[in-house]
Amino acid sequence: MKRRDFLGAMAGAGAATALTACGSNEDNAAAAAVMQPQKTYQWKMVTTWPKNFPGLGTGANHIAQLIEAMSGGRIQVKVFGAGELVGAFEVFDAVSQGNAQLGHAGAYYWRGKIPCASFFSSVPFGLTAQEMNAWLYYGGGMALWEEAYKPFGLLPNPGGNSGTQMGGWFNKEIRSLQDLQGLKMRIPGLGGEVLKRAGGVPLTLAGGEIFPSLQSGALDATEWVGPYNDLAFGLYKVAKYYYTPGWHEPGTTMECMINEQAFNELPKDLQAIVRTAIKAANAEMLAEYTARNQQALHTLVHEHKVELRHFPDEVLRALKSLSQEVVEEAAKADALSAKVWASQKTFKEQVMQWTEVSEFAYLRARAL
């Protein structure tokens, strides 16, 4: 058949007829499958956040809702807050063991199991949210993250981003490094290690434990996320000064891990739906934080009379120097950590030059 005649026949008979006429066995099987009642999947998502917690918990809910809607209900996802099915810090094991199919958390919580995990959430004085997404999606980061989680039967995904966090809540002013000596502060991950070297006492507490610990004096200071979440926790009631910037978490990536076996049991279209829903939620969360943080900051400063402070440059310079030490040492934990940091460090050195001539230059111009 001549090409022109063939196209004419296609148009006349319709694509479906043409598909059947020249279809392979595979095409016919796919067509038959579409006619069958479709299998449904009941999934569980465990999270490290309090149920429905603004931004983080609702971000997890959003992934579940997207998966259900995009799959036409073929996958139903029940979301559990921290402590409902498993504790906040048991999320990784629960998904790894298949007790839940999805887990929403922050990779730095798992650095005790996987030394390089922190590099996939946030690194002190590291990448911003935009730069993290660039490294993960287009700079080789995802392949390394997959390598790190593979032994645990998990597929990692960036599942949200808080943007630049705040430096934290303090009951005294931080005028010099001296003011950090003996300071008991809730600050997880590599940032906590930096604080320790600066003379402080870092503690890792789940979100729900922060307010009572600060109230009872078990903590002198805490970081949590940013104005939106910190307002919701009422931290302004138990601390007076609110410091910026969040040098320890310049653009924290949340994660949505998938149990690999459960994922592999899904047909290809549902696999694509799960991945795409998580990717959409990753972008959505950053937009939400950007919109809500500025509203919440206004409320904190104007209604609750919170004292906003910038860390002095001298303190930031010292913390940056200690951060470099801590990160370089963390990179020596094992071969994979070295590989991950080498990739991220190279990317950071390059992207910083672009950020400087693009966003940084623009932000400076805007503020003139």
Taking the least distance from each CB to Ca ion, the nearer of 43 and 170 is: 170
Taking the least distance from each CB to Ca ion, the nearer of 193 and 223 is: 223
Q: Alpha carbon of 158 to those of 98, 144, 162, 186, 296: distances in Å?
A: 20, 13, 11, 24, 25
Beta bridge partners of 133: none
In the complex, minimum distance from the CB of residue 186 to Ca ion, in angstroms, rounded to a whole number: 9
Residues in contact with Ca ion, total (CB under 5 A)? 3
Helix (H, G, I), strand (E, B) or coil at 247: coil
In the complex, minimum distance from the CB of residue 49 to Ca ion, in angstroms, rounded to a whole number: 12
CA–CA separation, 124 and 188 (whole Å) = 11
CA–CA separation, 160 and 228 (whole Å) = 15
Beta bridge partners of 244: 310
CA–CA separation, 287 and 230 (whole Å) = 17
In the complex, minimum distance from the CB of residue 249 to Ca ion, in angstroms, rounded to a whole number: 5
In the complex, minimum distance from the CB of residue 290 to Ca ion, in angstroms, rounded to a whole number: 16
| 195 and 223 Cβ atoms separated by less than 8 Å | no
In the complex, minimum distance from the CB of residue 48 to Ca ion, in angstroms, rounded to a whole number: 12
My answer on whether omega of the bond before 115 falls inside 30° of 0, hence cis, is: no
Taking the least distance from each CB to Ca ion, the nearer of 249 and 255 is: 249
Taking the least distance from each CB to Ca ion, the nearer of 55 and 153 is: 55
Taking the least distance from each CB to Ca ion, the nearer of 229 and 344 is: 229
Q: What angle do CA 366, 319, 177 make, to 5 degrees?
A: 110
Contacts of 113 (CB under 8 A, 6+ apart): 92, 152
Per CB under 5 A, which of residues 248..307 are in contact with Ca ion?
Answer: 249
Span from 97-105, 133-141, 165-173, 177-185 in contact with Ca ion (CB under 5 A): 165-173
Span from 131-139, 161-169, 210-218, 319-327 in contact with Ca ion (CB under 5 A): 161-169
Taking the least distance from each CB to Ca ion, the nearer of 193 and 249 is: 249
Taking the least distance from each CB to Ca ion, the nearer of 141 and 188 is: 188
Q: What string marks each residue from 198 to 227 as x (binds Ca ion by CB under 5 A) or -?
A: -------------------------x----
Contacts of 94 (CB under 8 A, 6+ apart): 46, 85, 86, 100, 103
Span from 14-22, 48-56, 229-237, 245-253 in contact with Ca ion (CB under 5 A): 245-253
Which residues are near Ca ion by CB under 5 A?
A: 165, 223, 249
